């Protein structure tokens, strides 16, 4: 791993920890600002909406900027946003600070991916994407729990302060190690032309559909583990950690596979994930088997991520209106929309009385649809990413 990729991974860890940690802090935030839990929960919704809507718009607005200065400015905004969260005197101020940090998250990740892959050796783009995604994996399995522990020991404000300090460290590493990369593709609203590309739209659709099933299972994993498998509630955090470990290993392995076999890795991994989800449904009453399948589902679910991101980058780079940064930002929005849809249809399954295990079966069907989309899209030739 190059020093610049490591620096960007450190930054991704800090920025995305700020996204994941809020769930563990909601009761403390609600008590500290004297608001009900549902109102505190809207902080999560606000962050998601900031990424879905604001990420692509900010990406368009910053299209003319060179990448390294842009990364630095975005990190400064993340630092200020987390400091504002730490010292927010009221709920509205915290709400606004969360939106501000959400706005830069999608654009930062998209810009970091473009910089990292444009400087990667030929044939190593997906592995490079996997290293940045590793920062996100670590934020989920380490950053969020550590942030929650800090909040429990020193108050929720200390968590946001710690994230701000980490982002300052990331900023210093970026300034020292990351090379400047000129802006890629068109500028301003001309970038929207990339969304007329069939290859780009199909790649984004694969991200949305291919992840929706996994996200539904993850959203309702605790009810499945407790109500169906019979685990004690206290075992759920350990099983989520096992899922995260599987996700980390799968992410790194998926990057290698996507580099070695870019045309077949994605549909094959999605098909394998669908099979694993069916198996999870079938054996969910067996606790040892469920543990193994939770790890396997996490591994396969995250093994597809590097290939998905690389596919969007490749399609956007070869489009008539090349705008890879915007395409990645829109791809992040698609992922957030998939998460919202996943929570909705998983709730419908439970409301219908089918039980939490049935969510895995429905999720397998959705994942197979993603595999079919991926296979259909491979009929369209895509140019490989250039190495610089």
Q: What is the pLDDT of residue 320?
A: 54
Q: What is the DSSP letter of 320?
A: S
Q: What is the pLDDT of residue 323?
A: 66
At 179-191, the pLDDT tens digits run: 877 665 555 565 6
Question: Between the ranges 243-252, 253-262, 283-292, 310-319, where is the mean pLDDT highest?
Answer: 283-292
C-alpha–C-alpha distance, residues 15 and 31, integer Å? 25
Q: Is the dihedral of CA 21, 26, 30, 31 positive or negative?
A: negative
Q: What is the pLDDT of residue 241?
A: 84
Question: Between the ranges 32-41, 42-51, 73-82, 191-200, where is the mean pLDDT highest?
Answer: 73-82
CATH architecture of 188-377: Up-down Bundle (1.20)
Q: What is the pLDDT of residue 381?
A: 44
Residue 209 exposure: Cα atoms within 13 Å on the Cβ side: 21
Cβ atoms of 314 and 333 closer than 8 Å = no
Under CATH, which number does the domain 3-177 receive?
Answer: 1.20.1250.20
Q: What is the pLDDT of residue 141?
A: 78
Cβ atoms of 141 and 238 closer than 8 Å = no
pLDDT (average), residues 189-206 = 79
Q: What is the DSSP letter of 123?
A: T
Three-class DSSP category at 382: coil
Give the CA diameter of the chain.
Answer: 56
Q: What is the pLDDT of residue 119?
A: 78
pLDDT (average), residues 72-88 = 95
Fold match flag (3-177 vs 188-377): yes
Least confidently predicted of 169-173, 229-233, 297-301: 229-233
| Global confidence as pTM | 0.78
With a cut of 50, say whether residue 236 has pLDDT above it.
Answer: yes
Least confidently predicted of 82-86, 194-198, 208-212: 194-198
pLDDT (average), residues 93-107 = 89
**Inter-CA distances, 60 with 42, 109, 126, 186, 196, Å:** 27, 14, 25, 9, 16
Domains of the chain by residue range: 3-177, 188-377
C-alpha–C-alpha distance, residues 336 and 360, integer Å? 20
Question: Which candidate, 373, 127, 131, places its Cα nearest to that of 274?
Answer: 373
Cβ atoms of 60 and 188 closer than 8 Å = yes
Look at the block and give the residue holding tokens 């200020």: 80
Cβ atoms of 291 and 242 closer than 8 Å = yes
Q: What is the pLDDT of residue 324?
A: 73
């Amino acid at each position: 791993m190059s020093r610049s990729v490591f620096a960007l991974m450190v930054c991704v860890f800090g920025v995305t920890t700020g996204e994941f940690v809020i769930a563990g802090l909601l009761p403390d935030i609600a008590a500290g600002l004297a608001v009900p839990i549902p109102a505190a929960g809207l902080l999560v919704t606000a962050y998601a909406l900031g990424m879905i809507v604001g990420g692509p718009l900010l990406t368009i607005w910053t299209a003319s900027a060179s990448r390294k200065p842009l990364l630095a400015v975005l990190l400064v905004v993340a630092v200020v946003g987390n400091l504002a969260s730490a010292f927010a005197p009221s709920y509205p101020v915290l709400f606004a600070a969360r939106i501000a940090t959400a706005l830069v998250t999608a654009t930062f990740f998209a810009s970091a991916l473009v910089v990292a892959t444009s400087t990667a050796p030929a044939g190593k783009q997906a592995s490079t994407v996997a290293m940045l995604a590793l920062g996100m994996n670590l934020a989920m399995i380490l950053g969020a729990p550590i942030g929650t522990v800090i909040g429990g020991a020193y108050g929720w404000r200390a968590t946001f302060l710690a994230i701000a300090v980490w982002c300052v460290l990331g900023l210093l590493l970026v300034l020292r190690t990351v090379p400047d990369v000129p802006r890629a593709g068109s500028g301003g609203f001309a970038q929207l032309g990339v969304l007329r590309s069939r290859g780009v739209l199909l790649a984004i659709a694969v991200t949305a559909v291919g992840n929706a099933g996994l996200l539904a299972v993850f959203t309702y994993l605790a009810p499945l583990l407790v109500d169906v498998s019979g685990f004690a509630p206290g075992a759920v955090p350990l099983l989520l950690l096992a899922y995260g470990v599987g996700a980390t290993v799968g992410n790194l392995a998926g990057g290698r596979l996507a580099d070695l076999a870019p045309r077949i890795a994605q549909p094959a991994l999605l098909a394998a994930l669908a099979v694993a989800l069916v198996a999870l449904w079938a054996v969910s009453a067996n606790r040892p088997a469920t543990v193994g399948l939770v790890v396997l589902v996490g591994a396969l679910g995250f093994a597809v991520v590097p290939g998905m991101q690389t596919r969007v980058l490749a399609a956007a780079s070869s489009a008539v209106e090349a705008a890879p940064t915007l395409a990645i930002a829109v791809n992040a929005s698609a992922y957030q929309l998939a998460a919202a849809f996943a929570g909705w249809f998983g709730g419908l399954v439970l409301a219908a009385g089918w039980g939490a295990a049935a969510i895995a079966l429905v999720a397998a069907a959705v994942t197979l649809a993603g595999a079919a989309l991926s296979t259909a899209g491979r009929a369209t030739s895509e140019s490989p990413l250039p190495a610089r």
